[in-house]
Amino acid sequence: MVQKVQLKISVRVRLALVPPGRPPKSVDPNASSLARLGAEIRASRAARTLTLHGLSRLIGFTPQHISEVELAKVCPSNAFVEAVDRALAADGRLLDLYPAARIELLVQRENRSESRREAIRWCQEVSDVKRRAFIGLGLSVVLLGPEAAAQASADDWDRIAHAWAYELDTAPDRSALLPGLVADLKRLHANHGPQRVVAQLSSHAAAIAVSAGDIDTARRWWRRARASAVASGDSHLISYVTGRQAIQGLYGAYSPVHVVALANEALRASTAPGTGRMNALTAKAQALAMLGRERAASDTLVASERAFEHVPRNITRDKISALGWAEDRLHHTRSYCAMYGASPSAGEIARTEALRFIADTDWRSRAQLKLHRAVSEIDAQDAVATLSDLSDAQRSDRFVRMIATRALASCESRNVAGVAELREVLTA
């Protein structure tokens, strides 16, 4: 009788530790050094009948992060592996697997950086004739040729995606890029290209639609980008697409409350530091500032600065593509928040720092920062001077125009000098 009671208690404990549900996703330990480490962590956890939540309570890392490590979606830190090895009494077995996984990650990161550098070098060297050609044909045709573009490999498409990221952030008129971008997306679909590239290019198309003020079209492209990111199974990419959707949602696509929700979704998608997480944190800070929640916005800004310290250097050094996240963006966010009630002096310091770090080719951010100043100082003449330095297409860009409109509203409320001229520039 005592044995039966003990058996029932044992079964109940095991059921509490490993709840029923759908079977876990399979991990092939031979796929990579990172997969081998993940599979070994899962096997050791299962041997001790611990759930993800149970292990989480022991080591202080989230269940989601543990799951991503086990599935080889992210490379863990040394502190994580030490904590898991100790909690699972692995006697250093997991720690022995970590160096190979780390080296493998560094090699992959360097390969991606080299691919990005090659794509940017090609974009900078391409002639004006070829540049005009790809507007209609797509970068794949210009980069590879018509026949090779129809049979592009996954590596080819990664290079093409990097090239598009560069073009998007340096083009004087984004709308001119759309025909070629759509042509490449059709080519991707026809050749069953990688979903990660479909997600990236679709997010570029959404950004172009936002710039043009076509919000309905932007939302359709965002849906496609997110669906492709989910299909790719890459948590970093899901975070990137959703974080980018949040940051661009600030410019009329979504309400500030919706932007906060999108940012939180991006933060949940991946805990690893990168472009997606930085976009999410800064979008959340800006949306909270718009809602008048200064304390929460300030706390989120501090969190973004701490997160930035852990972002890989190949990302923080990239100032000239949509895949990078350089230091000027931190200062840009502080400047944006200053328009909504923060200290004017803090806003001016942020603008000065941002303009010091910003790339010469990034005309959009430079114009935005100057318009932030016009809003904060209620200076219509400053706004007019900034807009006058831009082309007609650049003045029509929604990312510039929305801040200019805010400058007009603040100047009209005080009836300062230059209001009529600013109104005329915006309506022209």
Q: What is the per-residue pLDDT across 250-278, written as a single tens digit (0 to 9) for each? A: 988 899 999 999 999 999 998 888 999 99
| 411 token code pair | 């100047």
* 55/157 Cα distance (integer angstroms): 39
pLDDT beyond 90 at 403 = yes
* 104/91 Cα distance (integer angstroms): 23
pLDDT beyond 50 at 426 = yes
User: Residue 11 — very low, low, confident or very high, per pLDDT cuts 50/70/90?
Assistant: very low
Question: Tell me, what amino acid is at 105?
Answer: L
Q: Which residue has the tokens 């009329």?
A: 252
User: Residue 318 — very low, low, confident or very high, per pLDDT cuts 50/70/90?
Assistant: confident
C-alpha distance from residue 367 to each of 62, 316, 382, 392, 401 (Å): 41, 22, 11, 13, 10
Of the chain, the end-to-end C-alpha distance in Å amounts to 90
pLDDT beyond 60 at 71 = yes
- Stronger pLDDT, 134 or 351, i.e. the higher one: 351
Based on the number of CB atoms within 10 Å of its own CB, is 294 exposed (0-12), middle (13-18) or buried (19 or more)? middle
Element (H, E) at 357: helix 344-357
| 345 token code pair | 């002096």
State the average pLDDT over residues 65-77. 86
Q: To the nearest whole number, what is the mean pLDDT of the chain?
A: 85
What lies within 8 Å, CB to CB, of 323 at 6+ separation is 116, 162, 165, 200, 275, 315
Lowest mean pLDDT among 27-36, 87-96, 243-252: 27-36
Residue 10 is predicted with a pLDDT of 44
Q: Which residue has the tokens 């008129």?
A: 173
- What is the sign, positive or negative, of the torsion defined by CA atoms of 25, 29, 32, 34? positive
C-alpha distance from residue 371 to each of 53, 211, 274, 366, 367 (Å): 48, 17, 28, 9, 6
Residue closest to 77 by CA, chosen among 90, 94, 89: 94
User: Residue 230 — very low, low, confident or very high, per pLDDT cuts 50/70/90?
Assistant: very high
Fold of the domain built from segment(s) 12-105: 434 Repressor (Amino-terminal Domain) (1.10.260)
- Vertex 54 angle, CA 52 and 58, to 5°: 110
pLDDT in tens, 160-190: 888 898 888 877 788 888 999 999 999 999 8
* 379/316 Cα distance (integer angstroms): 33
Fold of the domain built from segment(s) 119-231: 1.25.40
User: Residue 414 — very low, low, confident or very high, per pLDDT cuts 50/70/90?
Assistant: confident
* 64/212 Cα distance (integer angstroms): 37
- Stronger pLDDT, 236 or 145, i.e. the higher one: 236
What lies within 8 Å, CB to CB, of 57 at 6+ separation is none
State the average pLDDT over residues 306-333. 89
pLDDT beyond 60 at 58 = yes
- Stronger pLDDT, 303 or 116, i.e. the higher one: 303
Domain positions in the chain are: 12-105, 119-231, 234-360, 362-428
- Stronger pLDDT, 288 or 414, i.e. the higher one: 288
Torsion of CA 404, 409, 412, 414, to 10 degrees: -110
Lowest mean pLDDT among 113-122, 152-161, 359-368: 113-122
Alpha carbon 176 to chain centroid, angstroms: 23
* 268/284 Cα distance (integer angstroms): 13
pLDDT beyond 50 at 400 = yes
Residue burial 108-130, b: 16+ Cβ < 10 Å; e: rest: eeeebbebbeebbebbeebeeee
DSSP-assigned letter for residue 308: H
For 86-155, give the DSSP string. Answer: HHTT-TTHHHHHHHHHHHHHHHHHHHHHHHHHHHHHHHHH--HHHHHHHHHH-HHHHHH-HHHHTT--HH
- Please, are residues 54 and 64 in contact by the beta-carbon 8 Å criterion? no
Residue 109 is predicted with a pLDDT of 65
Residue 15 is predicted with a pLDDT of 37
Q: Which residue has the tokens 């796929």?
A: 31
| 100 token code pair | 């190979």
User: Residue 126 — very low, low, confident or very high, per pLDDT cuts 50/70/90?
Assistant: low
Residue 202 is predicted with a pLDDT of 96
| 300 token code pair | 């989120």
- Please, are residues 94 and 85 in contact by the beta-carbon 8 Å criterion? yes
User: Residue 320 — very low, low, confident or very high, per pLDDT cuts 50/70/90?
Assistant: confident
Lowest mean pLDDT among 18-32, 209-223, 350-364: 18-32
State the average pLDDT over residues 201-219. 93
Residue 112 is predicted with a pLDDT of 61
DSSP-assigned letter for residue 24: P
Residue 417 is predicted with a pLDDT of 86
